[in-house]
Structure 1
Amino acid sequence: MSLRNLIAATYAPMHKDTSLNLEVIEVYGKFLKRNKVAGAFINGSTGDFASLSSTERKLIVEAWSAKRPDDFYIINHVGHTSLKEAMELTLHSADKVDAIATLAPFYFRLNTVEKLVEYCKNIAACAPNLPFYYYHIPDLSGAHLKMIDFLKIASNEIPNFAGLKFTKNDLIDFKYCLDFKDNAYDILFGVDEIFISSLPLGAKGWVGSTYNHLAPLYYKIKEAFERNDHKTAADLQTKAMMFVDILNGKGGFNGVAKGYLKTLGVDCGPSRFPHTTLDVEAYLEIKSELDVIGLLPYMSK
């Protein structure tokens, strides 16, 4: 199955004391589906996986598996500094999700494509019947490797290899990966702020955190591009960029954006340290700033 359209990198819903609030997940999934989001990328960077225990990550998988909407794709990120833990997370979710993904170990960092393939191969083998994706986010993982070089080896070494979540502003490498073996793999673009740049290169699927908030906006960008109205597409992309800048300027995007979901009807609660959680008044101020730039009509409903 080739993945198409928007996939939201989801947050880990929490109570005020930052314990997991799994009851929110059913509402969360319906919210995403209503806004034509095709699936959820769970336990990723947006989902604060590095601040969760393995037990908590398993509980999130179980909740999404049980409460997902119909025809809604779930990719579980299992990456960990410990290969053993990553393999255990994969085994646990093998019968609960539609695909597995991992980023590279991010403390003892990998410096060769061959080591990265070995790491991924061990994880992918724990769920041989599921598609496996490598999550390329070198600015956080430290694995600054060319993905076209990785594809050339991984495509032969990992039987269930399905593609990449490509979160790097490197359109040259991205295009090479898209074209590899006549578009044989899903190369899911992961830099929301330049979504528009992926369209002429042939991108078909996207994974990102702002698809929680702005799914209608991105579909409007895509529609404008497809009718050759490039000015409208570019103007809308600028609004998405400003959304990130405004929230980032309030204390850091991850935590602030998680809290902003409450204004859209999904209360995912606070974020864990070191992310910022704002009070109600601050979110009202943000909403006013977004109104000034004409963004509110394009927010997810």
Structure 2
Amino acid sequence: MKDLIAATYAPMHSDGSLNPDIIGTYGDFLRNNGVAGAFVNGSTGDFVSLSTTERKQLIEAWARDRPADFYLVNHVGHTNLREARELASHCADSVDAIGALAPYYFRLRTLDGLLHYCKEIAASAPSTPFYYYHIPVLSGADFAMAEFLKMATREIPTFAGIKYTQVNLADYAACVEFDGGSSNVLFGVDEMLVDSLPLGARGWVGSTYNHLAPLYTELITHYRTGNIDAAAALQKKAVRFVETLDGLSGFNGAGKSFMKELGLDFGPTRFPHRPLTPGNRESALRTLEENGITPYLSKLPAATT
């Protein structure tokens, strides 16, 4: 997988129940703004606040209604290994890959423990590429991924790569270079995308690709054509976008609420995240306009007649 992959939200009705009917429109919105795929049921999608049944319903809707030529990855990690295996098996024939972060309550203490967990999940979808979702700030599994790659590529037949969400560029670079670049290491820190480019990044997974895909597409183009200063300036705008929403009600809840400004109403967010108030939305829009960010926001396609 390569290019921008959006970590997707879980759309809901006003009563807090899932709204799978909007997935087709959501997928078209992402594709039309240059996004290459969806990473479903991850941190952005509030997976910890969804039931196993709800997580199944979401990926079923995405598998049914996703755009053509669009990557689909389902996060199946869980504190309960049996549930994780069930989620993996359920979607095995309908997605391009599965991913799993480490258990985050009783936390893993060794790389051997992490390898066992990943092997068990991958074995439940034996023909589906498997990605480890490295996000130690939330999972607590803070291991060197360059070392994990040596083990996983040897022990997990379907191992495809890592969703690397950590500010550790030295380890990330080592992962990209491992075995001649044989593993697909997707960078997961939106605010540092420009820093991943000289290290060989070719694919990115993140929340803000829902909102700012045109900005990141232009950023990557500037970098690859040698206009480094322009790329860095756009990265600063992306950071300012995150800071603006995070400072109002926390980024997860605010980011989901803000999608309404882009034409997609995803409904409420689940506790403990908080949505933007109408006043906060107005404040956010003013700040984004003042910082020259508004022109880079993703847009719904023009209505056709």
Identify whether the pair has TM-score above 0.5, normalized to the shorter chain.
Answer: yes
User: Cα offset for 1:188?
Assistant: 0.0
> Which stretch has the larger CA shift, 162-171 or 229-238?
229-238
Deviation per CA, 1:153-183: give whole Å up to 9, x if none: 0000000000000000000000000000000
Provide the secondary structure at the position in 2 that maps to 1:224. helix
| Distance in 2 of aligned mates of 1:31 and 1:271 | 20
The question of whether the paired residues in 1 share the 8 Å contact of 2:76 and 2:100 is answered with yes
User: Cα offset for 1:280?
Assistant: 3.0
User: Cα offset for 1:282?
Assistant: 2.4
Alignment of 1:92 with 2:93, yes or no, is no
Provide the secondary structure at the position in 2 that maps to 1:180. helix
The one-letter code of the counterpart of 2:117 is Y
| Distance in 1 of aligned mates of 2:273 and 2:99 | 24
Q: Partner of 1:234 in structure 2?
A: 232
Provide the secondary structure at the position in 2 that maps to 1:206. strand
Q: Partner of 1:33 in structure 2?
A: 31
Q: Partner of 1:116 in structure 2?
A: 114
Mapping for residues 1-301 of structure 1, pairs under 5 Å: 3-301=1-299
| Distance in 2 of aligned mates of 1:226 and 1:253 | 29
The one-letter code of the counterpart of 1:31 is F
| Distance in 1 of aligned mates of 2:279 and 2:137 | 33
Provide the secondary structure at the position in 2 that maps to 1:274. coil
| Distance in 1 of aligned mates of 2:21 and 2:117 | 34
The one-letter code of the counterpart of 1:128 is P
The question of whether the paired residues in 2 share the 8 Å contact of 1:111 and 1:145 is answered with no
| Distance in 2 of aligned mates of 1:253 and 1:278 | 10
TM-score in terms of structure 2 length: 0.97
Provide the secondary structure at the position in 1 that maps to 2:161. strand
The one-letter code of the counterpart of 2:28 is K
The one-letter code of the counterpart of 1:182 is G
| Distance in 2 of aligned mates of 1:23 and 1:41 | 18
State how many pairs are aligned: 299
Provide the secondary structure at the position in 2 that maps to 1:23. helix
The question of whether the paired residues in 1 share the 8 Å contact of 2:34 and 2:217 is answered with no
User: Cα offset for 1:125?
Assistant: 0.6
| Distance in 1 of aligned mates of 2:80 and 2:63 | 24
Provide the secondary structure at the position in 2 that maps to 1:50. helix
RMSD value, Cα: 0.7
| Distance in 1 of aligned mates of 2:39 and 2:298 | 17
| Distance in 2 of aligned mates of 1:217 and 1:27 | 21
Q: Which stretches in structure 2 are left out of the alignment for 5+ residues?
A: 300-305
| Distance in 1 of aligned mates of 2:161 and 2:218 | 26
The question of whether the paired residues in 2 share the 8 Å contact of 1:79 and 1:104 is answered with yes
Structure with the higher helix share, 1 or 2: 2
Q: Which stretches in structure 1 are left out of the alignment for 5+ residues?
A: none
The one-letter code of the counterpart of 1:152 is K
User: Cα offset for 1:243?
Assistant: 0.3
| Distance in 2 of aligned mates of 1:180 and 1:279 | 46
| Distance in 2 of aligned mates of 1:178 and 1:101 | 18
The one-letter code of the counterpart of 1:53 is S
Aligned residues: percent identity? 57
Deviation per CA, 1:257-300: give whole Å up to 9, x if none: 00101111111111000001123342122111100000011111
